[in-house]
């Protein structure tokens, strides 16, 4: 039996006392689009979803509604959402009909069914299929223009391995150390990782996730004032010279608890003046700076600036991360919110501004390192025995 995702929204009937409620009149609209016209369709193997049309009041007779894909509206979607989505390719989906019916006495129509196959979709590509009401017959109903069209966003589910770090393992990037490093002096930057913390330890335990200690480090907790289940960016040093000492820093704590055994996409961007922090594509922090450069090639190693960028540990092996990591990337540009959202599970390794990209999908090189997918040679070198966990899905 097919399983459908039915998109529904409780209808709000306007009474005379509800002066602030919208006046729909006698209208039909795509169900679920009153607050947002964007509808997410997770495609995992062969998947099905259904779109319906609703009316603002019970139909007094059968109402025939024509609703069908309308590729001409894709440009409007991309412009409104700052996206560069594509239409799903031919053969990747089917639509069962273009005619649905709101039967007399009902407010929701029969379904328009969409079937899609993930094998026909590319990893990391954003797809959108506009579906719009083109005609209504019967019942004297008009179309609510703001909800005439639904933008069905196809999201391919990727199944992959991920690296699990259990307290003694980490990854080093030897090519990031020194003045020749591509992360020595960044005028702009994006740092992002997909991670699932498995344990936060005691209340004031430190779980360093990724970065360069005292320059810019994602970590949970700080051992003194920040609880171990809250994310800290330490120190976020930005200045006018390459050395992290004496630079202004913009340390911040994301004041929300994170849950163990839950996947998060964490990212920060710097465009030369403004810092932004995102969790699962949501902007959670923003701050203006005095400007300058970020140096991720140097980290404090316990006695001097002789340590380097690492994944899963802090300075001098003092602290290690407990959790899974995947899709770690460093850019020399500030990615937009839409780009971060679209690239949660994968990006094109040839993308502009991508310095290094580690998928941590269990595919190791002959020397045991994790490949830098960009081809720039910044392979991640494991320290300790890394466990690989299979069949992890993204979006999680």
Look up tokens 């913009």; give the residue. Answer: 250
Please give the pLDDT value at position 201: 84
Say if domain 159-394 classifies as CATH 2.60.120.200.
yes
DSSP letters, 141-191, are: -EE-GGGSEEEEEEEE-EEEEEEEEESS-EEE-GGGSSTT-TTSSBSSEEE
Contact criterion met (CB below 8 Å) for 43 and 12: no
The pLDDT confidence band at residue 5, using thresholds 50, 70 and 90, is very low
Please give the pLDDT value at position 224: 83
Strands 216-220 and 149-156: unpaired
**Architecture of the 27-156 domain:** Sandwich (2.60)
Start-to-end CA span in the chain (Å): 25
**45-49, 199-203, 227-231, range with the lowest pLDDT:** 199-203
CATH 2.60.120.200 intervals, the chain: 159-394
For the sheet with 53-55, list strands across it.
53-55, 27-30, 142-143
Distances (CA, A) of 9 to 36, 54, 152, 177, 180: 11, 9, 16, 54, 56
197-222 tens-digit pLDDT: 999 988 878 999 999 988 999 999 98
CATH 2.60.40.1740 intervals, the chain: 27-156
């Amino acid at each position: 039996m097919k399983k459908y995702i039915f998109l529904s929204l409780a209808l709000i009937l306007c009474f005379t006392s509800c002066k602030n409620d919208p006046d729909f009149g006698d209208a039909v609209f795509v169900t679920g689009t009153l607050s947002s016209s964007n509808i997410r369709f997770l495609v995992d193997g062969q998947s099905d979803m259904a779109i319906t049309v609703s009316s603002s009041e019970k139909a007094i007779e059968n109402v025939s509604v024509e609703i069908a894909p309308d590729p001409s509206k894709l440009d409007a979607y991309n412009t409104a959402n700052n996206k560069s989505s594509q239409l799903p390719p031919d053969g990747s989906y089917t639509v069962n009909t273009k005619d649905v019916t709101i039967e007399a006495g009902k407010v929701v129509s029969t379904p328009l069914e969409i079937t899609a196959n993930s094998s026909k979709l590319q990893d990391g590509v954003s797809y959108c299929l506009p579906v719009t009401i083109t005609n209504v017959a019967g019942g004297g109903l008009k179309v609510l223009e703001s909800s005439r069209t639904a933008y069905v966003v196809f999201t391919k589910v990727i199944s992959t391995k991920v690296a699990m770090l259990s307290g003694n393992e980490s990854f080093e990037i030897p090519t990031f150390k020194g003045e020749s490093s591509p992360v020595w002096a960044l005028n702009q930057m994006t740092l992002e990782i997909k991670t699932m913390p498995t344990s936060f330890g005691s209340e004031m335990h430190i779980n360093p996730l990724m970065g360069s200690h005292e320059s810019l480090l994602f970590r949970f907790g700080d051992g003194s004032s920040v609880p171990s289940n809250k994310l800290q960016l330490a120190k976020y040093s930005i200045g006018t010279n390459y050395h992290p000492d004496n630079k202004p820093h913009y340390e911040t704590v994301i004041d929300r608890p994170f849950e163990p055994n839950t996947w998060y996409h964490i990212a920060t961007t710097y465009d030369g003046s403004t810092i932004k922090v995102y969790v699962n594509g949501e902007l959670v922090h923003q701050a203006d700076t005095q400007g300058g450069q970020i140096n991720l090639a140097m980290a404090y190693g316990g006695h001097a600036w002789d340590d380097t960028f690492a994944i899963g540990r802090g300075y001098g092996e003092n602290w290690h991360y407990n959790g899974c990591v995947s899709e770690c990337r460093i850019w020399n540009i500030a990615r937009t919110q839409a780009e971060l959202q679209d690239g949660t599970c994968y990006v094109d390794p040839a993308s502009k501004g991508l310095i290094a990209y580690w998928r941590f999908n269990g595919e190791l090189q002959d020397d045991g390192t994790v490949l830098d997918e960009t081809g720039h040679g910044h392979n991640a070198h494991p320290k300790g025995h890394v466990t690989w966990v299979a069949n992890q899905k993204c979006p999680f």
